[in-house]
A and B are shown apart, each in its own frame.
Chain A
Amino acid sequence: MSKLVLRRVDRNNEEMLINFGPQHPSTHGVLNFLVETDGEVMRRAIPDIGYLHRSLEKIGEMVGYPGYMPYTDRIDYLAAMFANEGYAIAVEKLIKVEVPKRAQYLRAISCELNRIASHLVSVGTMATDIGAVTPLVYALRERELINDLLEALCGARLTYNYHRIGGVAFDMPAGWQEKVIAYLDRFDSSVQEWDRLITFNEIYKKRLGGVAVVSREQAIDYGLSGPNLRGSGVDWDLRRDAPYGAYPDFQFDIPVGRGWAGKVGDCFDRYYVRVQEMAQSSRIVRQALEKMPEGEITAKVPRKVKPEAGEVQSRIESARGEMAYYLVSDGTERAYRVRARTGSYMAMGIIEDISPGLMVADLVALIASLDVVAPETDR
């Protein structure tokens, strides 16, 4: 086992070793970075995670398959629907259960609404980290309304526990559809207001354009996924390229980074991909509500879920990247191994190698643009 060797700080020039966190307004969650800096320019930023490790993978071996669903919420509490869905899909593959169409549509709607909410937090906190506080309040204002919608749907505002093995837990309440459409009408103009407020601001583009460029090859090599990968120019989205659930029925665009403010793969690309994804999610929800089929909301699943021995992997496109669940079953009621591979964990891995040469202010922009959150990193 090797110990972390930091270069001895040279007293003759201005080198410092600073702790960026774990309590800090702009690390997203409880994260710590050990930053070796030479004045304002960093030599290295070493992420130090584990403050939010809750041994969720070990817990998966203790509670049964249906009982693990609330725990998946906590794997990424900002985009909890995706965690639910990924786990549900994995178990359904194991026990070979087919989800009814209506349930798949409800899953898609709840997940896309959750994607909007998660991206709102992401771009809002990113704007705050760059210094503009007002966009965060605007973003949270929109997010509050989504929280209300999802609370009407499943009873919770943050950790939903909505999807079940075989379907979803509740059907849409009466009048919910109209409320969602009203919200989306409002939201579509909000996204444009957001762009006018902050996205095309000169200072904002200067702060983010050309900063911390992650090239295509680097993004693939380091295992990035989701908006981080698309921001670097790779046109890949699991919803279109390896579709699952109801996504084949919908038409939507995939925004890919084009170097709008500088180079392809810089912080602005990753940010703007998220902003555009929000608009696309709104499209998906509208289509899903229009075409919603009738039917059951959950398939017939035995009370005790006891799959055969085997293993399965499910991949879904979560708000922060690709969330893949790897389940190993040994034929009993309890899973043998539950593994959740999250997008933020891989994004943390790239920070140390991208950071040399950046300034401290750019480190903040980098962390915010990669949208790392502590629960996904630590689980």
Chain B
Amino acid sequence: MTTIEIHQKLQEAFGDAVGPLGEPKVDAFAVVKGDRIVEICAWLKKAPGIEIDFLQDLTAVDWPKRNVIEVVYHLFSFPHRHGIVLKVETDRANPVVHTVEGVWKAANWLEREVYDLFGVTFTGHPDLRRVMLPDDWVGHPLRKDYQEAGGFHGIPNLRENPLVELRRLDLVRIAEHLKANPPPPPPPPAPPPAAAPAAGTPPAPSTPPAAPQA
């Protein structure tokens, strides 16, 4: 079954809760209402002819301009080799959606990652904790407005550019070296040349002046 057909069947079953399939500008997706996502997923898993048994990916995209955090579900079916992409738009100020962990266990860890990096709360999740970041981390990094806190438990996360720092250390060392061994004072200027030599003798070839010390 193609994505369009699945979408049609989905709309027949759930009507208003399923939005239109986006234009196939690359991959197409359908936006569904967040409060019916669990029913929809359960229906998709069981519906004969559709039987989507594989939650391939569950992730989120942050759209501050539209003030939503989209939770994206990539679904796939092994028996029928078809799939569909669903999206749920959650309010950015308080992103909450019900978990689909009861439908596919794969959602367990995928939702934990979305919670960790985006801050989306999944109600009904058996174990909603941060997965990658430490438990006492503040903030949700993959949001567009995330500011780094400048350190974690006293470990700074900014440091000088190593090249700059090494150059500074080099200059310090050179200054100390010069202070310890000062260069010899430059020689006094040469006495003015004697009276013009007798006419007829060609002038002595002058050596070019010594190159200035670096």
Chain A residue with minimal CB distance to B29? A311
Task: Assess A220 versus B78: contact at CB under 8 Å? Given A53-B133, A312-B27.
Answer: yes
Chain B residue with minimal CB distance to A236? B78
Give chain B residues whose Cβ lies under 8 Å from the Cβ of A220.
53-54, 78
Q: In this complex, which of B26, B74, B110, B142 has the most chain A Cβ atoms within 10 angstroms of its Cβ?
A: B26
The A interface is mostly helix, strand or loop, or mixed, namely: mixed
* Chain B positions 19 through 37: 1 when the CB is less than 8 Å from some CB of chain A, otherwise 0: 0000001110100000000
Q: Contact partner of A326 among B72, B127, B130, B133, CB < 8 A? A: B72
Q: Which of A188-196, A203-211, A340-348 contacts B (4 or more CB under 8 A)?
A: A340-348
Give chain A residues whose Cβ lies under 8 Å from the Cβ of B127.
2, 4
Count, chain B residues at interface, CB 8 A: 36
The reply to whether A348 and B109 contact each other, CB–CB distance below 8 Å, is yes
Count, chain A residues at interface, CB 8 A: 43
Chain B residue with minimal CB distance to A234? B78
Q: In this complex, which of B56, B85, B109, B134 has the most chain A Cβ atoms within 10 angstroms of its Cβ?
A: B109
The reply to whether B142 and A57 contact each other, CB–CB distance below 8 Å, is yes
The reply to whether A310 and B25 contact each other, CB–CB distance below 8 Å, is yes
- Inter-chain CA distance A308–B127, complex, in Å, is 39
The reply to whether A242 and B78 contact each other, CB–CB distance below 8 Å, is no
Q: Contact partner of A50 among B29, B55, B74, B133, CB < 8 A? A: B133
A1 interface residue per 8 A CB criterion: yes
What are 27 A-B residue pairs whose CB atoms fall within 8 Å in the complex?
A1-B128, A3-B135, A50-B131, A53-B132, A57-B142, A94-B26, A218-B105, A220-B53, A221-B105, A222-B105, A223-B110, A308-B25, A310-B25, A310-B27, A311-B26, A313-B85, A315-B56, A324-B56, A326-B57, A326-B74, A328-B61, A336-B61, A345-B113, A346-B110, A349-B109, A349-B110, A353-B105
Q: Tell me the A residues contacting B by CB distance below 8 Å.
A: 1-4, 49-50, 53, 55, 57-58, 93-94, 218, 220-223, 234, 236, 241-242, 308-313, 315, 322, 324, 326, 328, 336-337, 339, 341, 345-346, 348-350, 353, 378
Besides A93-B26, A310-B25, A349-B108, 9 other CB < 8 A contacts?
A2-B128, A220-B54, A221-B53, A221-B106, A223-B110, A241-B81, A310-B27, A312-B27, A341-B56
